[in-house]
Amino acid sequence: MAASQSSVVPVPPPPSFIKHFVSGYFSGCALVLAGHPFDTIKVRLQTDSARRFRGPWHCLVETVRGEGLRAVYKGITPPLLATGIINSLLFGMQGWFTHNIASARGHQPTQPHISDICAAALCSGLAISIVVAPVEGIKARLQVDYTLRGQGPIACARRVVSTLGVRNGLYRGWLPTALCRMSNYAYFGPYEYIRRLVSPVGPDGKPQRTLPASIAAGGLTGVCYWLSCYPIDVIKNRLQAAPDRSPPVYRGMVDAARAIHAEAGVRGFFRGFVPCILRAFPANASCFVAFEIAMRFLPFA
């Protein structure tokens, strides 16, 4: 990218964030395709207040035996359609926030400090939660539909809105969703740190973006993210997958947390942890590899 010719001090112009948005779309699709079966098992275990499953393997076997192999892909339509768009917004906003925060703090935007990236992740995570909350709410409801004739995402969304409205229906569980998404500081920060650590150094003295480095960093950063916020995710899914009725099953995050603790103690906040961590590496490695490949080959500036 050419430097500005009119400036006394050569400062590179801001990057084209179109590239971040488009690359983020591909990363979202890769994330969902690689990780959705694991996610279905995770959500079913997290919301299993009836204790019908003894563990991840038992949940998988019983799900496939009772509902067929396609059951592990229940609810994939909303995240597949939406996660591409969501990741497009997330990666685009992350790039924009990182550039501006690094510039404001006097750091080089093309090589930001890890602290710049983490601060940007808090901002982009809070912003994206507004879009994510309804999508994840519909997905959670569909994933815990144990019937063989489950409704689709549009019908589910219409039913939720007609029953509870937008605020108490589609946006039920927004606060834990926002807290989870703001935990992206443990997502983008570790990714960049690990990538720089394991990447070979190029002639310019900077870490080079390589496929093996992206696989390692992407997979490990997925694990870092879930370690930072998993109990909150359990509370979020309990709230979002609860029966749609008025008055609500849970009055809020604290009430849901108390119910989880009353049922299973501290272990209740880690239900579904095994499939989640098993999913974290391949899904997020796929996500970041797709992002890096798109960033490398897309023709945008």
CA distances to 126, 232, 253 from 235, in Å: 18, 5, 7
User: pLDDT (tens digit, 0 to 9) for every residue of the chain, 301 residues total?
Assistant: 444 444 444 444 455 668 888 888 888 889 888 888 888 888 888 787 777 888 888 988 888 888 888 888 887 887 787 788 888 989 889 999 999 999 999 898 888 999 999 999 999 999 999 989 998 899 888 888 777 566 788 888 999 999 999 998 999 999 999 999 999 999 999 999 999 998 887 777 777 778 888 999 999 999 999 999 999 999 999 999 888 888 988 989 999 999 999 998 999 999 889 888 888 999 999 999 999 898 888 876 5
272: region left, alpha or beta (phi > 0 left; psi from -120 to 50 alpha): left
How many C-beta neighbours within 10 Å does residue 85 have?
Answer: 16
> Tokens representing 125?
């995570």
Q: What is the pLDDT of residue 66?
A: 85
Q: Note the pTM of the prediction, 2 decimals.
A: 0.77
Cβ atoms 188, 118 nearer than 8 A: yes
Closest CA to 293 of 29, 14, 3, 6: 29
> Tokens representing 239?
């709230």
Q: What is the pLDDT of residue 6?
A: 43
How many C-beta neighbours within 10 Å does residue 282 have?
Answer: 17
CA distances to 22, 72, 195, 282 from 30, in Å: 13, 17, 19, 10
Cβ atoms 131, 89 nearer than 8 A: yes
For tokens 């359990």, name the residue: 234
Beta-ladder partners of 201: 207
Determine the Cα–Cα distance for residues 239 and 256; give it in Å rounded to an integer: 7
Residue partners of 21: CB distance under 8 A and separation at least 6:
88, 89, 91, 92
